[in-house]
Amino acid sequence: MKIKTYLFPILVIALFSGSCNLFQSNSGQYELVVLDTLNIPFSGDIHAGTYAHNTGLIYNYQSGEYLKFDSLGNVLANKIIPTVGDSGLYYVNGLKIIENGNILAKSIKGEIGLLDEELNLVKKANMPFPNGSLDLKRNQNAINIYKDELLLFHPGRNNKSPYELGYYRDNYLLEKLNPSTGVATPFLKLSPKSQYQESLHFEPPTALISISDNSLYFVFNKEPLISKYDLSNNGEWVNSIPLDSEDFVQVKGQKLPLGNDGSVLVEGEITNLFALKNGFAVVYIDGLLKEPGPGQKIPGKQLKIYNYENGWSAPIELPFNLLFLLNFEQENKAFYGLINPKTLPIDNNQAQVLKYQLASH
């Protein structure tokens, strides 16, 4: 709520100052070019979305509406799935389009739905224990598939609370679910470089995961540290790369769970994680201290790319009214971002998706 309150005037200024189709990175390494604007008939808020295999998907929790569209914004399918009952999915905050065109939908209650290409719910599995982290954060991309098994962030096994001191240090990070048998097994251990190894209380995190080939990347949204795991070697930890941002604001770990001491106005947060062929990309917001230091600026979303040969790119500033990116595959390929519906005119009944391209210079 603090973020919305603080950023609202800035969003209004950005919107009324007019839109432009060129956003420059701080160092001039990349330019963010808008190739196209897709206006798609879809009303209300959007709680999750994704784009893969030339297909986009957006979802509204209140209405239970799912809409699939192509690269030109043409509607391919539209379906309402109830939020309750055996044929329903409650508050989906993770979507994954798989290669055959089917869709995985993860709800905060631990339901995993399989949708066909027409957005019909054809199968639903339930995790064998409750989700201990009922975070309503939208578009939490924490479900993926590897060799016919599902990997997902679903803490709380054996009735343990992820809010307890040392939970992520002493337990596994993910669950591996066999969709045929419904059997889930714990998977993936915390990076030895993570702050959550310490016997301190930190702000409760959520997780993001992304897979490329046999590499799985994991990040907590409130920790600027991206960890790589080798799936071909039973998820062995490979390395962890700190986010190259001196301005990433965190609430300090404490011996008692007292939370924010008032010094942090807006927490830093990683909001997107994308595995690439030779690295990964993240979207993040630096955050803001109550008494900002010299040179600290108003926080806005930024995209950074890490390549194992060249290291980090310069940060690429994203528009203030961007809700989240739907995808990112590589530097020279077009990708899509969703505009926050709340920043569009009140009578608007369309979702707005922008098609971007990075131009190096």
For the chain, what percent of residues have pLDDT higher than 90?
A: 77
Residue 154: is its pLDDT beyond 90? yes
Contacts of 131 by beta carbon, 8 Å cutoff, 6+ apart: 108, 109, 110, 154, 155, 156
pLDDT (average), residues 174-193? 95
Q: Which of 53, 30, 29, 26 is nearest to 329 (CA)?
A: 53
Residue 262: is its pLDDT beyond 90? no
pLDDT (average), residues 31-40? 96
The per-residue pLDDT for 259 is 85
The per-residue pLDDT for 60 is 96
Q: How far apart are CA 312 and CA 304, in angstroms?
A: 7
Residue 346: is its pLDDT beyond 90? no
For the chain, what percent of residues have pLDDT higher than 70?
A: 91
The per-residue pLDDT for 361 is 67
Q: How far apart are CA 115 and CA 92, in angstroms?
A: 12
Residue 98: is its pLDDT beyond 90? yes
DSSP-based three-state secondary structure for 4: helix
DSSP-based three-state secondary structure for 148: coil
The per-residue pLDDT for 318 is 96
Q: Which two tokens stand for residue 55?
A: 């297909």
Q: pLDDT digits over 216-229, tens only? A: 999 999 999 999 99
Spell out the alpha helix ranges (H) of the chain: 2-16, 167-170
pLDDT (average), residues 192-221? 96
The per-residue pLDDT for 360 is 84
Buried b / exposed e over 255-293, threshold 16 CB at 10 Å, is eeeeeeeeebbbbbbbbbbbbbeebbbbbbbbbbeeeee
* Least-confidence region, from 4-18, 139-153, 242-256, 345-359: 4-18
Q: How far apart are CA 206 and CA 138, in angstroms?
A: 11
The per-residue pLDDT for 3 is 38
Q: Which of 235, 237, 232, 158 is nearest to 193 (CA)?
A: 237
Contacts of 341 by beta carbon, 8 Å cutoff, 6+ apart: 44, 45, 46, 323, 348, 351, 352
Task: Report the mean per-residue pLDDT for the chain.
Answer: 89
pTM: 0.90
Rg of the chain over all Cα atoms, to the nearest angstrom? 20
* Entry field: residues in the chain: 361
